């Protein structure tokens, strides 16, 4: 498809631009920067109501609900805003010790309203904070279980997402903008920059989103499927990873996002986020969203579905349903895993450990010993981010799971399991699912790092 036709197809919401299926139902992100301008006053009023009563804000969210807020938090340096997207008991206990429960606002953020991690975090801190509904808010799609719960309990605010926007495309929707306002960021500036980029992405000549996406697509055709995203102070690559992996990793195809990796190599291409100032994030969110929509057309896939994410969640639920805690025994070894290396492979570290654990030495060792691109993510966060690529993308990954001792059990109110069993079940289920998909895997304990 020629450039003008591809760009026109996206803006015309024409599903034949991709696979001719349900793509048209997932293009609300094209207009969301405009719509969010109209909602800012209501979000600001809620933020202002917290001003004298709150010292910290904690966001419960996974994947599309957590990664844009985390990048915003790091880019703007907001240390009193906390993103909780781990089920590791040590991390949850550490956060609880950091905050004054009576002077903290808790925001549960989930499009579906049923995300198990988010709902578990919500119930835990609902009990711990004394069920003070005024301290709580929800961001969720209309009619979800979370919306019903929030209204039943009388939460301080409920913000509605746009159902025609998938999670990874939601950075400029309430899932990104509500947290931004709560951080004290001038969200109007973010959205103004996004709107400028939106206008630039409508043209045929010099279209920044098309140029980035077509470079990804052409590189993929040439076998350069590793997208080496340059580091930024706010870790933009954290958000871009999900956008790229979950959008393109399916039907045995996919672009492999690799933040911080060298672009030098026959299977790699460089990608440079353009963030000259923090508010440029608004423009970059839109540029990359448009780019991946373009790249999806090159790969001839639907960039807006995620067929293997739910299957991975189901596997965790199967393990939890057994009623017992799984044993996470070592599987194979690093040496045996790397011995299976083939041209065009990459190594992926899947660290189901306390997020405070530094896996950089392990990543450097693997990079040195394999010569391959090495990606890494903390579980269970990556299950909602790059997990789709790992299961549905090309069979080019060497997956190294790292586990630790999560410590004593931390009960989840209303659940027959606690966070310790939860994260161990997620680790166990994920490795089993990878094996079912014929992936090459190994498991080691953190002590071996």
Q: Average of pLDDT values for 100-128?
A: 98
Compute φ and ψ for 444, nearest 5 degrees. -130, 165
Share above pLDDT 90 across residues of the chain, in percent, rounded to a whole number: 96
pLDDT of residue 273: 98
Read off the pLDDT of each residue in 37-57 and give the average, rounded to a whole number: 96
Confidence of residue 435 (pLDDT cuts 50, 70, 90): very high
Q: Mind spelling out the 3-state secondary structure of 163-190? A: CCCCHHHCCCCHHHHHHHHHCCCCHHHH
Output the pLDDT for position 361.
97
pLDDT at 157: 98
pLDDT of residue 448 exceeding 90: no
**pLDDT-derived band at 310, boundaries 50, 70, 90:** confident
CB-based contacts of 359, cutoff 8 Å, min separation 6: 349, 351, 353, 376, 402, 449
Phi, psi of 246 (to 5 degrees): -75, -30
**What percentage of the chain has pLDDT greater than the value 70?**
100
- Res 313: pLDDT: 85
Residue 339's pLDDT band, with cuts at 50, 70 and 90, is: very high
Given this model, what pLDDT does residue 309 score? 83
Asked if 254 contacts 389 with a C-beta cutoff of 8 angstroms, the reply is: yes
| Mean pLDDT of the residues in the chain | 97
pLDDT band at 196 (very low <50, low <70, confident <90, very high): very high
Look at residue 446 and tell me whether its pLDDT is greater than 80. Answer: yes
- Residue 1 in this model has a pLDDT that exceeds 80: no
Query: In the structure, what pLDDT confidence band is assigned to residue 312 with cuts at 50, 70 and 90?
Result: confident
Digit-coded pLDDT (tens) for 360-371: 999 999 999 999
Tell the residue number behind the tokens 């790397």, with chain if given.
Answer: 338
Please, what are the domains in the chain? Answer: 3-11+190-299 (3.40.50.10490), 31-185 (3.40.50.10490), 309-448 (3.40.50.10490)
Summarize the confidence of residues 181-207 as an average pLDDT: 97
Work out the pLDDT band at 32, boundaries 50, 70, 90: very high
Q: How many CA atoms lie within 13 A of 131 on its CB side?
A: 6
Interval 199-239: pLDDT, tens: 999 988 899 999 999 999 999 999 999 999 999 999 999 99
| pLDDT exceeds 80 at position 440 | yes
Please report the pLDDT score of residue 423 as a whole number: 98
Residue 198, C-beta contacts closer than 8 angstroms, at least 6 positions apart = 30, 33, 34, 286
Query: Over 90: is that where the pLDDT of 335 sits?
Result: yes
Q: Residue 228: enclosing H or E segment and its boundaries?
A: strand 226-229
> Which position has the token pair 């001719």?
20
At how many degrees (to 10) do helices 309-321 and 116-128 cross?
Answer: 60
CB contact at 8 A, 81 and 56? yes
pLDDT, position 292: 98
Closest CA to 13 of 28, 2, 35, 1: 28
pLDDT exceeds 90 at position 65 = yes
Counted residue by residue, the chain has a size of 449
Cβ neighbours of residue 70 closer than 8 Å, sequence gap 6 or more: 83, 85, 235, 238, 239
- Spatial CB neighbours of 127, under 8 Å, sequence gap ≥ 6: 413
Give CA–CA dist 53/425, Å, rounded.
38
């Amino acid at each position: 498809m020629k450039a003008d036709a591809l760009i026109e197809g996206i803006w015309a919401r024409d599903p034949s631009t991709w696979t001719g299926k349900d793509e048209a139902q997932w293009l609300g992100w094209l207009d969301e920067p405009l719509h969010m301008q109209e909602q800012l006053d209501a979000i600001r009023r809620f933020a202002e109501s917290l001003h004298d009563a709150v010292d910290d804000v904690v966001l419960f969210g996974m994947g599309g609900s957590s990664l844009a807020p985390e990048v915003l938090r790091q880019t703007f340096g907001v240390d009193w805003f906390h993103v909780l997207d781990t089920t590791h008991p040590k991390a949850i206990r550490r956060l609880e010790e950091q905050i004054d429960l009576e002077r903290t606002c808790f925001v549960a953020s989930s499009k579906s309203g049923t995300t198990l991690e988010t709902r578990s975090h919500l119930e835990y801190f609902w009990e711990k904070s004394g069920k003070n509904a005024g301290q709580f808010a929800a961001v969720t799609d209309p009619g979800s279980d979370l919306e019903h719960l929030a209204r039943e309990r009388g939460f301080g605010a409920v913000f509605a997402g746009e159902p025609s926007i998938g999670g990874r495309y939601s950075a400029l929707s309430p899932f990104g903008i509500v947290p931004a306002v709560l951080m004290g960021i001038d969200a109007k500036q973010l959205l103004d920059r996004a709107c400028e980029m939106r206008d630039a992405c409508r043209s045929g000549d010099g279209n920044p989103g098309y140029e980035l996406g077509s470079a990804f697509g052409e590189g993929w055709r040439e076998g350069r499927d590793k997208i080496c995203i340059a580091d930024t102070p706010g870790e933009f690559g954290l958000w871009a990873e999900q956008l790229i992996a979950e959008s393109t990793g399916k039907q045995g195809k996919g672009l492999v996002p690799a933040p911080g990796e060298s672009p030098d190599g026959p299977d790699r291409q460089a990608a440079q986020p353009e963030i000259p100032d923090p508010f440029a994030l608004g423009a970059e969110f839109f540029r990359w969203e448009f780019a991946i929509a373009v790249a999806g057309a090159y790969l001839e896939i639907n960039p807006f579905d995620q067929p293997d994410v739910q299957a991975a969640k189901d596997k965790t639920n199967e393990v939890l349903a057994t009623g017992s805690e799984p044993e996470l025994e070592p599987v194979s070894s690093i040496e045996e895993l790397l011995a299976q290396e083939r041209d065009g492979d990459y190594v992926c570290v899947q660290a189901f450990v306390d997020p405070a654990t530094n896996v950089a030495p392990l990543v450097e060792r693997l990079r040195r010993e394999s010569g391959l691109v090495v990606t890494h993510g903390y579980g269970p966060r990556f299950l909602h981010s790059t997990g789709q690529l790992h299961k549905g993308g090309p069979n080019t990954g060497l997956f190294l799971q790292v586990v630790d001792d999560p410590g004593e059990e931390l009960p989840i109110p209303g659940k027959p399991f606690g966070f310790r069993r939860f994260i161990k079940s997620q680790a166990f289920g994920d490795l089993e699912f990878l094996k079912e998909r014929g992936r090459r895997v190994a498991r080691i304990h953190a002590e071996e790092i």
